[in-house]
Amino acid sequence: MQRRTLLSLLSLLPFAAYAQKAPSTLRIGYQKSSTLLTVLKVRGQLEQDLAPLNVKVTWHEFSSGLPLLEALNVGGVDLSADVADTVPVFAQAAGARLTYFAQESPSPSAQAIVVRADSPINSVADLKGKKIAVTKAAGSHYLLIAALDKAGLRFKDIEPAYLTPADGRAAFERGAVAAWVTWDPYLAGVQRQSQVRILADGRGIADYQRYYLASTAYAEAHPEVLPVVFEALRKAGRWVKQSPKEAAELLAPAWGLDAPTVELANGRRSYEVRPVLKEALGEQQRIADAFLGEGLLPRKLDATAVPLWRLR
């Protein structure tokens, strides 16, 4: 009987080995502005780095950050490329189970309020009563609130037109809105291709830190994958800053922009990837409080009460 049992167990070994080697999949959600993951995607770098772990990578593009995090929360993707600092706040308010995975250090000039070059608007205070294109829940949304507040205005003093970046630019260029609030590379694109003025950017108003997030379920189930992705992002960030022209040439076809426009956009982003620390989430709390004060969040949040992935 012992011999039969041993033979039976031995017969299962090939199937056990196959089960151990069966590839898993990392589904990554990204946007057009997701520079570092676009670099990794074009180069096939993550596929190479994760091959020893038998992990396959699939890529899923989204028009903006909020739909991306919604997909992350419901299990449509496992890891989110960088989203503006405002987006996780809205996801947290909706009860999403997401883990802060990494952060890019501040890039305040990488988003701005723009007006046409011949516009009579010369200050943020002049936006009172005007219709302004902005993407809801994007970092530019908070920039607009913070800039208005600094100018002594409330969000209700303007008329928001909630539009995607593509629709926002179209409305701006045909004169349907008085101003457009956007971020790079859309900001660089309109600067180089249209006659515009920057009315205000984020310097001294909004830090504009971008966050990478993972579904909490994936972060708990695959602790071996996230360090590989984190290190790849950090290396990609250093390469983009150290090789600006080469990076621009690589990204230009993926973004559908010319290389000088991409280089202008990349020059305003820090691309310094670092772990997320609870004590560094002060801006997230200010964002949450600002949106709550304007009636745009359903409840008060503790923006630091979020799961944080730890680099070990």
* Interacting residues of 277 by C-beta distance below 8 A, sequence separation 6+: 308
Confidence of residue 23 (pLDDT cuts 50, 70, 90): low
Give the pLDDT mean for 55-70: 90
CB 89 within 8 A of CB 143: no
**Which residue carries 């041993």 as its tokens?**
6
Asked if pLDDT for residue 16 goes beyond 70, the answer is: no
C-alpha 271, offset from chain centre:
12
The tens digit of pLDDT for each residue in 219-254 reads 999 999 999 999 999 999 999 999 999 999 999 998
Please give the residue that has the higher pLDDT: either 137 or 28.
28
Residue 6, pLDDT score: 36
Could you give the CA distance from residue 36 to residue 81 in angstroms, rounded to a whole number?
A: 8
**Contact of 95 with 77, CB cutoff 8 Å:** no
> By percentage, how much of the chain surpasses pLDDT 70?
93
Q: What is the mean pLDDT of the chain?
A: 90
Band (32; pLDDT cuts 50, 70, 90): confident
CA-derived radius of gyration, the chain: 22
| pLDDT over threshold 50, residue 9 | no
* pLDDT tens track for 77-105: 999 999 999 999 999 998 999 999 999 99
**Residue 4, burial from CB neighbour count under 10 angstroms (0-12, 13-18, 19+):** exposed
Residue 29 is encoded by which pair of tokens? 């959600």
CB atoms within 10 A of CB 19: 9
Q: Report the C-alpha gap between 44 and 24 in whole angstroms.
A: 17
Ordered structural domains, the chain, with CATH: 2-106+209-293 (3.40.190.10), 108-201 (3.40.190.10)
Instruction: Tell me how far CA of residue 261 lies from CA of 138, 168, 194, 241, in angstroms.
Output: 22, 19, 12, 15
Q: What's the length of the chain?
A: 312
Report pTM. Answer: 0.85
Which range (62-66, 138-142, 224-228, 269-273) has the least confidence? 62-66
Span 96-117, average pLDDT: 96
Alpha carbon distance 146, 152 (integer Å): 10
